[in-house]
Amino acid sequence: MIRTVKKEDLQRVFELNEKFVPRVGRENLQWFETYFERADSFLVYEDENKIVQGYAVCMLPSCDYQSMNFLWFKERYDHFLYLDRIAIDNSLQGKGIGKLFYQKLKADWQSKVERITCEVNIRPPNAQSYEFHKKIGFKEVGQQETKGGTIRVAMLVWEINRD
């Protein structure tokens, strides 16, 4: 089941995030508490035992967010939903949960924005995520170096009103 995050989910979301560093950026629990309030979409997936097994955090251009990657998209597009991070527990990968998150985001936001944006690491490589996003319909529109040149990301856009 995909639903909106609750405050009591944040510790588990933080723990999931830690499992996926460097495929997602490292953040502290306070970051998740802040974006619990600020994010325009913060979803979780819970299994039948009611344990959070995945999450997605998204922002609109109006969000007070200073990520280099978010600002890259903000300089180039007016109407978008930026997917800052998504992670799904290893035990559920390959079972369609990621696709469910994207279907939910598209259904919730298609009438409000033209596209969903995100980035995927290409150094260090996250080939699994890159291929997954291509299958969903994302197209690479640029690349940039982050973290002092230690990370290179592919900037991806999914034009959700064209599908």
Expressed as residue numbers, the domain containing 31 is 2-159
Question: pTM for the full model?
Answer: 0.92
CATH number at residue 113: 3.40.630.30
CA distances from 147 to 22, 25, 83, 128, 150 (A): 11, 10, 19, 22, 6
Output the pLDDT for position 163: 53
What sign does the CA torsion over 31, 100, 119, 110 have?
Answer: negative
Output the pLDDT for position 122: 94
Q: Which of the residues in the chain have pLDDT under 70?
A: 163
Q: Based on the structure, what is the number of domains in the chain?
A: 1
Q: What is the pLDDT of residues 23-56, one digit of tens each?
A: 777 889 999 999 999 999 999 999 887 888 999 9
Output the pLDDT for position 51: 84
Output the pLDDT for position 123: 92
Output the pLDDT for position 94: 86
Angle, to 10 degrees, between the axis of helix 127-136 and the axis of helix 97-109? 50
